[in-house]
Amino acid sequence: MCLLHEVIQSDDTSLTAIATSHLDADNPLRVNGTITSINGIEYAAQAMAVHGSLLSNTAQSGYIATVRNIEIKTPFLSDNMSPATETLIIKVEQLMSNENGFTYQFDITCEQESLISGKITVFLTQT
């Protein structure tokens, strides 16, 4: 499942991507016609994975270990009552990285309105 459409900015510590997949009727996160804002964590995790791949030039396996400081400002990313009727902007910023994993803070906005934000820590699996 690829939720992101395009990376529009990336540097050593951050990445900004855009997504319109929340508007797709066949989005696998959609339940009863809506995508709840908590699914923004998956959008952010995918942006984190892209950023990590760009930095290391390799794909690494890992798992989400913690999700903290989540602020949900709207109940849905997509429904007829949602403010997210346009492109989502997913911004991730790396706060910590080592051989065992990394932590990012993220913010997902639509038309300059923050929808969900927080921090995600991922532990890398050793292969």
Residue pLDDT, tens place only, 92-124: 999 999 989 999 999 999 888 899 999 999 999
Quote the pTM value.
0.91
For residue 25, give its domain range.
6-124
Average pLDDT rounded to a whole number, residues 63-73: 95
- Considering the domain boundaries, does residue 34 fall inside one? yes
- Considering the domain boundaries, does residue 1 fall inside one? no
Q: What is the pLDDT of residue 79?
A: 59
For the ranges 15-19, 23-27, 37-41, 114-118, the lowest mean pLDDT is seen at 23-27
Domain count, the chain: 1
Q: What is the pLDDT of residue 103?
A: 97
Average pLDDT rounded to a whole number, residues 25-52: 93
- Indicate whether 81 pLDDT > 90: no
Average pLDDT rounded to a whole number, residues 17-43: 92
Q: What is the pLDDT of residue 119?
A: 98
CB atoms < 10 A from the CB of 104, how many? 25
**Euclidean distance between CA atoms 88 and 110, whole angstroms:** 5
Return the residue matching tokens 């903290």: 68
Indicate which CATH number applies to the domain containing 15. Answer: 3.10.129.10
Q: Which residues of 50-60 are buried (b: 16+ CB within 10 A; e: fewer)?
A: bbbeebeeeee
